[in-house]
Structure 1
Amino acid sequence: MHLDLSLADLGDQPQLSESAHSRRARFHQSWYRAAKLDVKAWGRTPAGRPIGSILPAAAAEAGLNFVAPSARELFLTRRKQGWGVDPVRMTKHMTSSQALLVNLLGPLGSSANWLRDVLRLLLDRQDIAEVTRWDIEFAPPSRNDYLGDMTRLDAFIRFRTSQGTEGVVLELKYTDRFSSRRLDLAGNRRYAELQASSGLWHDPLQAFLDQEVGQLLRCHALGTRILQVDERVWTPATLLLISHPDDVTAPTVLNRYRSRLEDATRAVHVGLDHVLHAALSSAPTDVDADTVHSLQLRYLDHAASEALWLEHLEKANTTRTRRRHPLTQQQVDEVTTVL
């Protein structure tokens, strides 16, 4: 790992309209590219904007956005299955939540029981006997047999207990916001039928009209409907939201959604730090533990890039001050004379 990096090695850091968490995450990923991956160049957006947290083409083609071979293999396998993953963002954009998804589930799912053991810890469900199936970027093949809309799940995990089959809808947030897409759920017959069969929400009309929780509601509804159609199970799915510990919005939205549920225990929020701690404590091999350490460094250990971050902030503040209070010609002449 390079200790002599400069801000120039980290590349362009446009602020755009990002949150403080997003800007810090983008900076840390830029540091990880230069320090850990030893990639000195950086890529551009499709519009041509250079950004330090985007891998250049050669690094992307080499699979450097994936922390383990199992993560890259998961991406390649899912891509062959059809639409649902963005190959550009997945291979180039280091802040992509889809990339984080495969970096997390690729390793966990490559071991027979690792994913099961992590779920036991996160959900406090020691009765989980076996994970029977899991899919990423999942949507039913025939939407009309389910809810009829374009909702897609980050991941859907089915597991078996002594009581039968259950399901977990996994929603993962890194730097992205919740979807602002609005649907007329209150006037949707399929959602009304789902409520009648599951009793998922205590006041369905208010839940359907609450646009702030719309994405979580649609994902939870789809997971519950998948269990009904595919497994003939009438117990609602559990919604598991995983977000970065610096993301203050995600848990707030989750709590708002929980207030809409008949059974609030059917929605769970867990920080990414706790997920990786659970993964580390249950890692089957030393190689798997090393993979978790890499995930922690890449996504959580902002202390590793803190010195350069503070330098970046100081430089940005100085630049803003100069723009607001430019030197007069007399001051420029005085500085020139001194020099």
Structure 2
Amino acid sequence: MASQLPSLLASQHTMTVLDRYLLRLSLPTLAVSLVVLAFVLVMHRMFLLADLVVARGVPLGTVARLMGLALPALLPLLLPVSLLMAVLLAAGRLSLDNEAVALRALGVSLAQTLRPFGLVSLAVAAAAAAVSLWGQPAAARAFRQELYDAVKNRVGLTAQAGAFTEVAPGITLYAGGSRDGGRELEDLFLVVERGPRPVWVAARRGRLWAEGRRLSLDLAEGEAHESQGPGKPYRRVRFRRYRVDLPLPAVTPDPDVEEMTTPALWAAAARGDREARFELHRRLSVPVGCVLLGLLGGCLGFHHSRFG
């Protein structure tokens, strides 16, 4: 490349050719860095997703959607780092091949050489701004809802007839028959061990239903037994209706500032919410960081040639 620079610079399209050459050096590295770093960071969430498949039987299609929804949360970190690696390696290659020295000898300034890197940085910054300000909060809300729906629906499917099933932590269910995909249950026996005194419940019928973020089991025509402990009376209660709430704490955390839309976050920050202000500054810093890291990578890469 260094031997071809004089003929390239003699053309009226010199900088266009140089820009394209530098873009060809940096863009493939940017893409590869994004893929590799995304794979490494997604592995962090694979433990949770693997538990959904193995322990709760969530379909692989749902897990694939969850993985896709998890990616936007990683992009504000991946984009600046990948951009820095791409620009640094592209500028470093010019330095190692003495192409940067040849460019300066032919009168090409550092600002002209950094121009394509600046264009790439601006493009990546625009993408990072879109993801950080709009994409990431929407994906975070969708991820939480998808995860909640997957576990909630799977509780009904796992309540199969003729088998003891732990439908929730501390709650074991046996059903003699089932309909409607496991939501309508018959001849039920339920053991609730969420406190110091376990409760045994038998009922003719039951139904699993969801309301908002709560999953409940409604029982009909049965009786509940509770032991008060040694030397204390034994309780036996007949009922026509009995409701048991099935907790899902592991996958239904309360919404936080990361899921707030940017206008709502801005309003909360204006009211003095320090957590909202911190999150807003974090979102705004992502595109700015892309521009700064892109230019910094170019300067560092070309600076190496002065001492090589």
Same fold (TM over 0.5): no
Greater relative contact order (Cα 8 A, min sep 6): structure 1 or 2?
2
Q: TM-score, normalised by structure 1?
A: 0.26
Q: TM-score, normalised by structure 2?
A: 0.28
Whichever structure has more helix as a proportion of its residues is 2
Larger Rg: 2
